[in-house]
Structure 1
C-alpha cells in the first residue's frame, strides 16, 4: 500500500439497531485491501467495542480509521459524560451500563479491556462533562 487510506464514521447514539455498522464497514474494507485475517479481527473487535460504548454511554460519536502500510490508527471521539475513573473502567467486568442495556446483552464491562487486548497501543483521554477520546493502533507486520 503506497498511500494512506482514511475512513470516517458517525456513530448514532442510543440506536442498537445500527450499532456495529462502522466496524462491519471497516472489516469489509480491510478484507478488500487484502490485510491478514488476524489484523482484520483485531481492528474489527476494537472498533466494535468502542462503537458499542459510544451507543451505550455517550449518545454516539465519531470514528476515524487511518490505514497505512505499517499500521492502522483508530480514533474514537465522543462528547458524552466522560469517564470519571479510567483505571476502574479498564477492569474486566466493571460496567456503568443501565439495566435496560444489560437486558439486551450489552454492558458486561468488557468494552475497554477488549479494546486494549486487541490493539498494540491504546490511550484513553477523558474529561468528565466533556467527553472521551480513545486512540488505538494495530501494527501491520510484513
Structure 2
C-alpha cells in the first residue's frame, strides 16, 4: 500500500458502494467517503502499509485504519490545516496538501487517533 498511488481511492470507493447498497442517506455517505478517502491517502503517503476495517453496528458506521510505522511525529501540527510532511513524490501526484486529518475530524462524528513510532491507529465513526 505504501506509495501505491495507482490504487488510491479504491478502498473508499468500495466502502461507499457497499454502504450505498445498505441504503444509507446521501449526506452520511458523502461524509464517510470523504473521511475514508483522506485516511486511505494518508496511509499511502505516510505509512509502510496497513489495513482498513469497516464496522457496521446499530450505533453507527466505524472505520479503523491501522498502519505500521513511522507514526505521526507531532499530532498537534498534523491537525492544523495546511501542515504537511508529504514527500515530493506525493506532491507530484497531487496529494499532500495537509488537509487529511483536519478534514477527517471535521466530517466524522467520532475521531480517535493513537500514534507511535510503530504505527498509527485511527478510528472514526458516523452516527446513523
Tell me the equivalent position of 2:119.
Answer: 131
Q: Which 4+ residue blocks in structure 1 deviate beyond 2 angstroms?
A: none
In structure 2, the gaps of 5 or more residues are none
Separation in 2, partners of 1:51, 1:60: 10
Name 1:21's counterpart in structure 2: 10
Q: Which residue pairs with 2:71 in the alignment?
A: 82
What is the CA-CA distance between 1:59 and the residue it aligns to? Answer: 2.6
Whether the 8 Å contact between 1:14 and 1:60 is mirrored in structure 2 is no
Contact 2:69 2:116 (8 Å CA) reproduced: no
Counterpart of 2:41 in structure 1 is 52
For structure 1, which runs of at least 5 residues remain unmatched after alignment?
1-11
* 1:42 paired residue number: 31
Q: What TM-score, normalized to structure 2?
A: 0.96
Secondary structure of the 1:17 match is helix
Number of equivalent positions: 128
Report the secondary structure of 1:92's partner residue: coil
SS of the residue corresponding to residue 132 of structure 1 reads: strand
Counterpart of 2:77 in 1: which secondary structure? helix
Structure 1: distance between partners of 2:94 and 2:46:
15
Q: CA RMSD in A?
A: 0.9
**1:111 to partner: Cα distance:** 0.5
The structure having more radius of gyration, on CA atoms, is 1
Distance in structure 1 (CA, Å) of the matches to 2:111 and 2:9: 20
Match of 1:73 among 38, 59, 62: 62
Partners of 1:67 and 1:43 lie apart in 2 by: 12
Match of 2:107 among 110, 114, 118: 118
SS at match of 2:11: helix
- CA offsets 1:95-133 (integer angstroms, 9 cap, x no match): 0001221121100000101110110110110002x0000
Instruction: Supply the distance in 2 between the matched residues of 1:40 and 1:108 (Cα, whole angstroms).
Output: 23
